[in-house]
Structure 1
Amino acid sequence: MTLLSVSNLSVRFKQHHQDLAALLDISFSIQPGERVAVVGESGAGKSILGYAITNLLPGQGYIAGGSVRFRGHELTSLSRREWRTIRGHRIAMIFQDMMMSLNPVLTVGDQMVEAIQSYRKVSYHQARQLAIETLQQVRIRTPEQCFYQYPHQLSGGIRQRVIIAIVLLLKPELIIADEPTTALDVTLQAEILHILKEICERNQVALLFISHDFGVISRICERTLVMYAGKIVEQGPTLGIINDPQHPYTQGLINALPQMALPGQPLNQIEGNMPSLTARPSGCAFHPRCPYALSQCRYLTPEFIYTGVSATACFVIEKMQTFNAESEVDHDTDI
């Protein structure tokens, strides 16, 4: 059975007497144990997607339409009480801001014991032993010492490992990680990614990994969703998308990676900026920044077409496919 199924999900925000679209008709699924990335620039809607799935939308945000099903059960209609049995225990979220995820006035041990005893009837001694064993699993060298420390006494890398350990204690089937390595240096980033991947593989835990960095997701995710202005514009196997990006936006993201520029030369960039919720362009939202935009891109919204191993929502790609198909027909006729 499919673990998570998102169908035509739309999210809107009420702001200053306006009703603004943040997500538009998002559809995808995740299988048990599968690792899926959501990638795009800031403002693309990546984090909002994670918050919508877990019913943690901020402020005046609300789900305007669509479905989110977890193991066949609809999540959008759950009550707050019902969500307490799902969030954390079956679907866990790792946030970008590590200090916001940990209570600054409680020790690591107190927070871990509280997490364990929230769903298991065990003694403090048993919970403590389980917590220390889990801290060892995430490769904290001095788990007993860490157990009695406060979050502010720990480095960023150790805090993130503690958060992963707490998530592990709850034994979720799906982890949603919202840019969990952004604030870490490259070495710590690689270690955290390795730990996450290892945990998912060992325990058959699915992962929805939110990031802006193709270099990061290539290390951990099997499949990728590329988002722009609240919509998915390309999706497919991660390595397939990285090696042969189809959508002009995906091409721009990959070309903007530092390693794609020649030494001593300026870094490549996508001209323009992500549109705000109040100024979303008509048609394909990327057309004002797209170097290949056609006339219909300005007023029509493209549907997904399959291009090799990925699916792409782009009129330019559709036109190229049509041209190639007609060329093959003409060639066959000539023969």
Structure 2
Amino acid sequence: MALLDVSNLNVCFGLKSGLVKALYDVSFRLERGERIALVGESGAGKSILGFSIVNLISKPGFIESGSIKLDGKELTSLSNRQLRHVRGKRIAMIFQDPMMTLNPVISVGIQMVEAIRSHTPMSKKDAKKIALDRLAQVQIPSPELRFEQYPHELSGGMRQRVIIAVAMILNPDIIIADEPTTALDVTIQAEILELLKHMCEVCNVALILITHDLGVVSRIAERTMVMYAGRIVEEGPTLEIINDPQHPYTQGLLSALPQMALPGQRLNQIEGSMPSLMNHPKGCAFHPRCKYATEKCSNAQPNYIYSGISTVACYMVEDMLEEFSEYRDL
């Protein structure tokens, strides 16, 4: 049994103009201790998927259908009170901006102690000891001093280390990290990601890393899922995705990395933009931007097929595999 099993998940938003769908039949499994990445442009549905797992979607959003199981237990049917025992304790989240997560008028230590005592009947003294141990584990110098300080007294990298410590403080099974290094400079980004990877390995915690940077996932994730317009379009081992991308969208994301262009050359880019929820194209959502698109791409969504050890939803790949199969049979 997988630690997390998401099956045929559909998420909608109820607007005055009607229902608009943000996620389309999303399915994946996460094993204990596994690290996976969700990649794609802004608006692909990555954060919505992350929030859906712990039912943190703000109204008018809601889970229309599908299943989210943690150790075989259905999460979509739990009440908010029941979900409080899952959030933080079983599934922790790391958000983009630590200043939006930490309370600016409460010291770091009090926030950590409250996080522990809200889930476990523990004395303040014992909770403080655990909090100090976690601060030391995330390589924060002088944990006793930082414990007494307020978030604004810490640097951006230090605040993100505190957030990782808070996420790990209750020994969760899963951490969902939503663009955890967006507000940090490049050198600090690398340190934070390596720290997050190390903590997950040491504590055998599964990780869902949400990012738009394919250069990041190669260092962190064992498996990668590429999302476009609310649907997973390609999934497979990270090295396979990076070295042999199948879907034209994945190929476009990789070619757009700065290191793929020569010095002084214009950066590569995917023409067009992500469709809005209000104007979702019929058929394959990527076909208006795809140079390989044919008529059938605009008529119906492609099914998932195996290409090597990856799965991909693309008619072009399907046709190529059929042609190869016919050629091999000659």
TM range (shorter): over 0.9
Equivalents in 2 of 1:329, 1:191: separation in Å? Answer: 51
- For 1:80 and 1:309, how far apart are their aligned partners in 2? 39
- How does 1:124-135 map onto structure 2 within 5 Å? 124-135=124-135
What secondary structure is seen at the aligned counterpart in 2 of 1:218? helix
Alignment correspondent of 1:333:
none
Q: Find the aligned partners of 1:322 and 1:125 in 2 and give their Cα distance.
A: 66
Taking the aligned partners of 1:326 and 1:320, their CA distance within structure 2 comes to 10
Query: Given the alignment of the two structures, is residue 207 of structure 1 paired with residue 171 of structure 2, yes or no?
Result: no
- Paired amino acid for 1:72: G
Aligned position for 2:248: 248
Sequence identity, in percent? 61
Q: Displacement of 1:129 after TM fit? A: 2.1
Deviation at 1:80, TM superposition (A): 1.0
- Aligned equivalent of 2:164: 164
Write the mapping of 1:99-248 to structure 2, written as runs, cut at 5 A: 99-248=99-248
1:96-147 Cα distance to aligned partner (Å, 9 max, x none): 1211110111000110111122223333222222211110100001211111
Paired residues of 2:44 and 2:229 also in contact (CA < 8 A): yes
User: CA offset at residue 84 of structure 1?
Assistant: 1.0
SS in 1 for 2:180: coil
Provide the aligned C-alpha RMSD in A: 0.9
Q: Once the 2 structures are TM-superposed, how far is the Cα of residue 182 of structure 1 from its aligned partner?
A: 1.1
- Report what 2:11 is aligned to: 11
Give the corresponding residue for 1:22: 22
Q: Which amino acid aligns with 1:212?
A: H
Residue 80 of structure 2 corresponds to: 80
Cα drift, residue 44 of structure 1: 0.1
In 1: Cα distance, 2:2 partner to 2:305 partner? 23
> Does 2:286 correspond to 1:292?
no
Gaps of 5+ in 2: none
**1:306 equivalent in structure 2:** 306
Displacement of 1:164 in angstroms is: 0.7
In 2, Cα distance between equivalents of 1:309 and 1:265: 34
What TM-score do the two structures reach when normalised by structure 2?
0.98
Aligned AA (2:172): P
Q: 1-side partners of 2:122 and 2:232: how far apart? A: 44
Distance 1:84 1:175 in 2: 15
**Which runs of 5 or more structure 1 residues have no equivalent in the other structure?**
331-335
Number of aligned residues: 330
- 2:33 corresponds in structure 1 to 33
CA contact (8 A) 2:85 2:119 kept: no
1:88-99 to 2 correspondences below 5 Å: 88-99=88-99
> Residue 85 of structure 1: CA displacement?
0.9
Q: Deviations over 1:214-245 (max 9, x none)?
A: 11111110000000000000000001000000
Cα drift, residue 67 of structure 1: 0.4
TM-score, length of structure 1 as denominator length = 0.97
Provide the rounded CA distance (Å) in 2 between the counterparts of 1:122 and 1:92: 20
CA distance in 2, matches of 1:104, 1:132: 19
Q: Deviations over 1:182-218 (max 9, x none)?
A: 1111111111111111111111100011000011111
Letter in 1 for 2:129: Q
CA distance in 2, matches of 1:122, 1:18: 48
Matched residues in 2 for 1:128 and 1:234: separation?
44
Q: In the aligned structure 2, how far is the partner of 1:280 from the partner of 1:122?
A: 50
Instruction: Report the alpha carbon displacement of residue 324 of structure 1 after superposing the two structures with TM.
Output: 1.2
Distance 1:139 1:112 in 2: 16
Contact kept? 2:9, 2:66, Cα under 8 Å: yes
